[in-house]
Amino acid sequence: MSKKSKLLPYIKLIKIFWVSFFSLLLLFALFIYSVNINLLNLFGTQPNFHELENPSNEVASELYSADGFLLGKYYRENRSPVTYDEIPSSFIGALKATEDVNFEKHSGIDFRGTFRVIIMSILLGEEGSGGGSTITQQLAKTLFNTRSEKYKGKLGNVPGLKMVIIKTKEWITAIKLENRYTKEEILKMYLNTVDFGSNSFGLKVAAKTYFSKEPQDLNLQESAMLVGLVNKPTRYNPVLNPDLSLNKRNFVLYKMRKYNVISEAQYDSLKTLPIELDYNVENHNKGYATYFRHVVRNQMLRWCDERGIDLYGDGLKIYTTIDSRMQKYAEEAVKEHMSVLQEKFFEHWKGRNPWVDEKNKEIEGFIERAVKRSGRYRTLKEIYGDDEKQINKIMSTPVKTKVFSWKGEIDTVLSPIDSIRYFKHFLHAGMMSMAKNGQIKAWVGGINHKYFKYDHVYQGKRQTGSTFKAFVYAAAMENGFNPCYEVDNLPVTIALETGETWTPVNGDSEPTGEKMTIRQGMAQSLNTIAAYVLTKVGVEAVIDMADRLGIDRETLPAVPSVVLGAGEVSVYNMVGAYNTFLNNGVYVQPSFILKIEDKYGNLLQEFVPKTREVINEETADLMIYMLQGATQEKNGSGMGLHRYGLLEGNEVAAKTGTTQNNSDGWFMGFTKDLVTGVWVGGDDRSIHFRTLALGQGSRMALPIWALYMKKVYEDKELGITRGPFPAPKSRTVLEKINCDRYKVEVVGEDSVTNYVAPSSPF
Q: Could you tell me if 732 and 671 are in contact, meaning their C-beta atoms sit under 8 angstroms apart?
A: no
pLDDT at 128: 40
* Closest to 173 in 3D by CA, of 84, 107, 95: 107
**Lowest-pLDDT choice from 147-161, 288-302, 513-527:** 147-161
**How many residues are listed for the chain in this entry?**
762
Q: Is the dihedral of CA 700, 703, 705, 708 positive or negative?
A: negative
Judge contact between 325 and 715, C-beta under 8 A. Answer: yes
Task: Supply the pTM of this predicted model.
Answer: 0.84
Cα dihedral across residues 584, 588, 592, 598: positive or negative: negative
pLDDT at 529 over 80: yes
Say what the pLDDT of residue 104 is.
86
pLDDT over 90 (residue 12): no
> Among the listed ranges 130-144, 396-410, 472-486, which one has the minimum average pLDDT value?
130-144
The rounded distance, in Å, linking the Cα atoms of 471 and 254 is 74
pLDDT tens track for 54-79: 666 788 999 999 999 999 999 988 88
Over the stretch 544-575, which tens digit does the pLDDT of each residue have? 999 999 999 999 999 999 999 999 999 999 99
Q: Is 258 part of a structural domain of the chain?
A: yes
Kindly state whether residue 559 falls inside one of the protein's structural domains. yes
Question: How far is the C-alpha of 740 from the C-alpha of 148, rounded, in Å?
Answer: 83
pLDDT (tens digit per residue) in 680-696: 999 999 999 999 999 99
Question: What CA–CA distance (Å, rounded) separates 432 from 445?
Answer: 8
- Say how far apart CA 88 and CA 679 lie, in whole Å: 49
Residue that is last in its domain, among 236, 270, 304: 270
| Residue 421, domain member (yes or no) | no
Report d(CA 762, CA 760) in Å as an integer.
5
Listed residue (260, 279, 272, 264) closest to 221, CA to CA? 272
Which of these three, 234, 250, 270, is where a domain ends?
Answer: 270
DSSP letter string, 286-352:
SSS-HHHHHHHHHHHHHHHHHHT--TTTB--EEEES--HHHHHHHHHHHHHHHHHHHHHHHHHTTTS
* Domain extent for 137: 79-270
What is the largest distance, in Å, between two alpha-carbon atoms of the chain?
164
Give the CATH number, domain containing residue 230. 1.10.3810.10
Given 270, 299, 331, the domain boundary residue is: 270
What is the reported pLDDT for 129? 41
Given a cut of 70, is residue 298 above it in pLDDT?
A: yes
Q: Tell me the torsion sign for CA atoms 346, 350, 354, 356.
A: negative
Q: Answer yes or no: are the C-beta atoms of 487 and 515 closer than 8 Å.
A: yes
Which secondary structure element, helix H or strand E, spans residue 412, and what is its range? strand 410-414
Could you tell me if 427 and 680 are in contact, meaning their C-beta atoms sit under 8 angstroms apart?
yes
CA gap 346, 335 in Å, rounded: 16
Q: Please, are residues 666 and 464 in contact by the beta-carbon 8 Å criterion? A: yes
CA dist., res. 23 & res. 31, Å (int): 12
Domain membership flag for residue 489: yes
Is 416 contained in some domain? no
Residue 441 belongs to a domain: yes
Based on the structure, what is the number of domains in the chain? 2
The CATH number assigned to the domain holding 560 equals 3.40.710.10
Q: Is residue 680 part of a domain?
A: yes
Span 583-601, average pLDDT: 96
C-alpha triplet 22, 27, 33: angle, nearest 5°: 125
Is 37 inside any structural domain? no
